[in-house]
């Protein structure tokens, strides 16, 4: 039977549950070790769920980054073929070339913006992955409904 159950009056910080399990009086050392292990296992099971979510998010981020960079090479190639080569080697309608350039430049800028967003998201994920336990603590303190009894 758990020694310490969740109460809305208690902060959602899992560290409080871990500390309480260690400071509680127990009938013997075996009961103490069992309860401390139970609380720690429950907390770190949730930390592992966060770690797994961080890994999946990172993998998704990498895939999106690959797609964006591959598409960027296509835009760069189109820019060369449809604008630069046309201007270098033939008489071309400058208005049409300018419109094509503007269209391709816009596509390139959208990809740059998307890659910058991915970079910020990667930094955010890396920050949480550096210390998943602290990231979990901050998460449940900010959103206590995510915390259940341990």
**Global pTM?**
0.72
Q: What is the pLDDT along the chain (150 residues), one digit of tens a residue?
A: 454 454 543 557 889 889 999 999 999 999 999 999 999 999 999 999 999 999 999 999 999 999 999 888 888 888 888 888 878 877 778 888 889 889 999 999 999 999 999 999 999 999 999 999 999 999 988 888 877 655
CB 14 within 8 A of CB 134: no
Q: What is the predicted pLDDT for the residue at 62?
A: 95
């Amino acid at each position: 039977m758990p020694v310490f159950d969740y109460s809305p009056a208690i902060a959602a910080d899992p560290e409080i549950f871990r500390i309480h399990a260690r400071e509680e009086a127990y009938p013997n050392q075996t009961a103490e070790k069992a309860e401390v292990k139970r609380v720690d296992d429950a907390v770190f099971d949730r930390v592992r769920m966060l770690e797994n979510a961080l890994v999946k998010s990172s993998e998704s981020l990498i895939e999106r980054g690959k797609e964006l960079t591959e598409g960027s090479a296509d835009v760069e190639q189109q820019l060369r073929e449809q604008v630069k080569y046309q201007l270098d080697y033939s008489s071309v309608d400058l208005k049409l070339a300018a419109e094509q350039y503007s269209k391709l430049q816009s596509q390139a800028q959208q990809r740059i913006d998307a890659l910058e967003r991915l970079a910020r998201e990667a930094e955010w994920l890396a920050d949480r992955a550096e210390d998943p336990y602290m990231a979990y603590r901050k998460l449940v303190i900010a959103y206590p409904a995510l915390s259940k009894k341990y």
